[in-house]
Structure 1
Amino acid sequence: MKTYIISILICGLMITATSCKKFLDLKPLDSYTEDTFYNDEKGLQGGLISCYDALQTDSLYGNHLLTLGELRGDNLIDNDPGSGAGVRNQIEVFSETSANNILTGAWIGNYRAVYRCNIILDRAPKISMSETIKNQIIGQAKFIRALSYFNLTRLWGNVPLVLKVQSTEEARQNSRATAAQVYQQVIDDLTDAAVKLPTSWPDAQRGRATSYAATGLLGKVYIYQKKFDLAVPALKTVVTAIYAKTILDTVPQAKTFPNNLKTSKDVIFAVQYLLGGVKEFVNQDNRYRNNNNTNIINIPQSLFEASDNRKALVAITGTGGRPGKFNAPQVNNETSGDFPVLRCAEVLLMYAEALNETAYGNAEAFKALNAVREVAKASLKTPAMLTSQAEFRTAVYLERRLELALEADRWFDIVRTNQMTAIFPGIPTFRSIYPVPQVEIDNINNKNGWQNTGYN
């Protein structure tokens, strides 16, 4: 009898548990979850927008990448070192620690973008829809993931390489991949994205990543790895398209960038913003507006020729000292000004650099360098002026500083071209990359090897 009663109780508990499980597994009827949202084309497209949205935030192109990529270099001076408890000034004077919240924000912001892309890349292959559209969605997600990892490894070197959606416990088990492994994944993603993406989008979808954006970024990644022989064909693909469409040599730069960034043919990929009460704007102060002398542009005007139309773009001009390069219309200090990530001008300069590093004296290298200078109304360079590979290299490095000023590339250029010691004598080289945020290390089970050498 006793055994019988226990059996009944066990059966009752099993039934109750089963019923509860079914009840708890019911999906919300009035809202979406990850399981119910990404199950058709509409859901994927919506999720893809969130991937682009991740790039907009203050953690990335809205603010922090500008601090980490420009204020750290020699183009800007922070004239308000006490602002925000000094966290920006720490970046400038090489005193940042793993507790710096700008670093924490940039780390989280990049991995937020990676996470959203991983969801798309996990769900898309399982959904029945047009293969062309599916490939375009996958290509865009891979481009954004590649861009995020490119920034992550430039900032921190070795970082976790997360290629799938993880549970909290799985994330606690992460270890750091080598920079070489991260770069290889970036190359793989961009190579596939270049095949899957179109060369252009309809005007209504302008701003999405294209095959040219993927191929151009791929060339940039090769240059960072000093694989110039691989960079040349990738960049030539985009350069050929540039010349075929006469993107650069038809309209002076002053009319196409920055005042008409949204329609400029010079822009291959930009992070886009929008006014109009839709919470898609960017704060104008985050575009180096010299508000109350907070930022001082530190690019010597003597580096520019008198006729160079880029000179005025990085001078302290306009109301509040806003630099002309980002002098976009604004309302209540909010602006629709996009942030250029990759421009035709940079592709031309990278092409010139890669050709020169492969072999000095290539006529195409001079042609590419001069295409940028011609648009800027600067004098053209000749072999009689740049008589060696070293002289041409120096000219390209300077041209990058002048052309790409305030576009979050200067610090990374200083590091990759081995100019850090010369420009910042006395600064230890371990500071060529940043400390891993301590809050991230605190969440990892095995903390061995997580902090970059030289940092506590």
Structure 2
Amino acid sequence: MKKYIIPILTCGLMITATSCKKFLDLKPLDSYTENTFYVDEKGLQGGLISCYDALQSDSLYGNNLLTLAELRGDNLIDNDPGSGAGVRNQIEVFSETSANSILAGTWMGHYRAIYRSNIILDRAPAISMNENTKNQIIGQAKFIRALSYFNLTRIWGDVPLVLKVQKTEEARQNSRATSAQIYQQVIDDLTDAASKLPLSWADAQRGRATSYAATGLLGKVYLYQKKFSLAASTLQPLVSAIYNGTVLATVPQNLTFPTNLKTSKDVIFAVQYLSGGIREFVHQDNRYRNNNNTNIINIPQTLFESSDNRKALVAITGTGGRPGKFNAPQVNNETSADFPVLRCADVLLMYAEALNEAAYGNTEAFKALNAVRSNASASEQTPAILTSQSEFRTAVYLERRLELALEADRWFDIVRTNQMGVIFPGIPAFRSVYPVPQVEIDNINNKNGWQNSGYN
């Protein structure tokens, strides 16, 4: 996508001036203001690019979400606990406090994406332009806002719900909305986005959110809420499109983790990067973190069948001791490796799980599960092997761990499926969510009820 220089005069909710440095340093500063930039389609498109750019940052998919969702779980082991003053290791060993800088950066990064999306959603209705194009812009902004809030509530539970551009004093008055309220807004945004977005984009615009992406994420939200029948019915048209393979991946082929995320039909939505000295790259160590065994992949090879081709994806066999899954070429520590947020394989496993939770024995649930396993060259699961709802459930949980390894789902899966006490015995339940960053609480006038229970 073409980059635009976007004037951001204030980074919005509870964000200090230093958080805006990337934009405040851009020249010339006197060329535009928010009131003069977002006045036409070009301004909206440029602002929309800044929304996608927010997802790229190290605070989100460039780095921190791997720490919070993979290192926190059982897929990785930190072999350098002293690096970065130990802030990453704190996440792994459940000793993080509200002063942890990774948490502060992640909170800030998500609200930066929300702030930029809110600008688009605030200004778009009044701009005279092609209505279909306008709706597509609105749909993309709502998708990015929804994804941001989905992550926020998975990480912290109750968080502020900000749906308009705020001035500093307004932001200081914010309170935390309940997780249920956040989920409802996410559902509303994704439902509207799905109705406004196309099923696919031209190659020149590949990487933008689609109706399929909004539908898939909506089904995931319902799954997290344990609304299994609704999750299944939401995902069913998407599953049919996957089986048909007209726009998305066809099974049983090309469904395993692709060698090129930018062109694979298995990828429904990914955060995209581009190396080459244009500041659109992801640092190779932020993606893999395996130089000098900084991280050790903790997925036992015994969990895979001998024929399973996913073993190589999590084995440290790549250049520089990196896992095969993200072992993309790099130059000067820059890589163009995209980060998959939603893949067809994920959708099929969610569909299988939702159908099984609604009622065991559904043939479509077995079909979806086996579609993923077939592409991994793993053996077929049948009712004679998985003889109960519980056994099917366990099989799906394992399949998700193997298929989606290192894709920032594992910790959230552990929490939502109530496995935390089994996998991490002795860890107090309050650590299923993270502490709210103290730097954010300090900016609020009424601090009552702002910290999660169990944390100081």
What TM-score do you get using the length of structure 2 for normalisation? 0.92
**Deviation at 1:34?**
0.5
Structure-1 separation of matches of 2:261 and 2:289: 18
2:315 aligned partner, one-letter code: A
Please name the residue that 1:420 is paired with.
420
Q: Could you say what secondary structure the match of 2:222 adopts?
A: helix
Native 8 Å contact 1:248 1:344 kept in 2:
no
**Deviation at 1:304?**
0.2
Encode CA deviations 1:81-137: one digit per residue, 9 max, x unaligned.
000000000000000000000000000000000000000000000101111000000
Root mean square deviation of aligned Cα: 1.1
Identity %: 85
Native 8 Å contact 1:289 1:321 kept in 2:
no
1:216 maps onto 2:216 in alignment: yes
**Deviation at 1:319?**
2.3
Q: Could you say what secondary structure the match of 2:320 adopts?
A: helix
Native 8 Å contact 1:156 1:436 kept in 2:
yes
**Deviation at 1:293?**
1.1
**Deviation at 1:30?**
4.8
Structure-2 separation of matches of 1:224 and 1:343: 17
Structure 1 moving runs of 4+ over 4 Å: none
Please name the residue that 1:201 is paired with.
201
Please name the residue that 1:272 is paired with.
272
Please name the residue that 1:22 is paired with.
none
Please name the residue that 2:351 is paired with.
351
Native 8 Å contact 2:252 2:371 kept in 1:
no
Please name the residue that 2:63 is paired with.
63
2:316 aligned partner, one-letter code: I
**Deviation at 1:252?**
4.2
Please name the residue that 1:324 is paired with.
324
Encode CA deviations 1:11-60: one digit per residue, 9 max, x unaligned.
xxxxxxxxxxxxxxxxx995111000000000000000000000000000
2:271 aligned partner, one-letter code: V
1:249 maps onto 2:251 in alignment: yes
Native 8 Å contact 1:76 1:295 kept in 2:
yes
Higher mean alpha-carbon deviation, 341-350 vs 317-326, is at 317-326
**Deviation at 1:249?**
2.2
Structure-2 separation of matches of 1:414 and 1:96: 18
Please name the residue that 2:443 is paired with.
443
Larger Rg: 1
**Deviation at 1:277?**
1.8
Native 8 Å contact 2:120 2:138 kept in 1:
yes
**Deviation at 1:251?**
3.4
**Deviation at 1:253?**
4.6
Encode CA deviations 1:417-438: one digit per residue, 9 max, x unaligned.
0000000000000000000000
Please name the residue that 2:35 is paired with.
35
Encode CA deviations 1:232-255: one digit per residue, 9 max, x unaligned.
11111110111111614253456x
Structure-2 separation of matches of 1:409 and 1:327: 19
Higher mean alpha-carbon deviation, 67-76 vs 28-37, is at 28-37
**Deviation at 1:288?**
2.1
Please name the residue that 2:20 is paired with.
none
**Deviation at 1:320?**
1.8
Q: Could you say what secondary structure the match of 2:340 adopts?
A: strand
Q: Could you say what secondary structure the match of 1:88 adopts?
A: helix
Number of matched pairs: 427
Please name the residue that 1:388 is paired with.
388
Unaligned runs of 5+ residues in structure 1 are 1-27
1:223-238, aligned counterparts within 5 Å? 223-238=223-238
Structure-2 separation of matches of 1:292 and 1:388: 44
Native 8 Å contact 1:198 1:211 kept in 2:
yes
Unaligned runs of 5+ residues in structure 2 are 1-27
Residues 253 and 358 of structure 1: is their aligned pair in 2 closer, same or farther, counting only changes over 3 Å? closer
1:255-404, aligned counterparts within 5 Å? 257-404=257-404
What TM-score do you get using the length of structure 1 for normalisation? 0.92
1:143 maps onto 2:143 in alignment: yes
More helix by share: 1
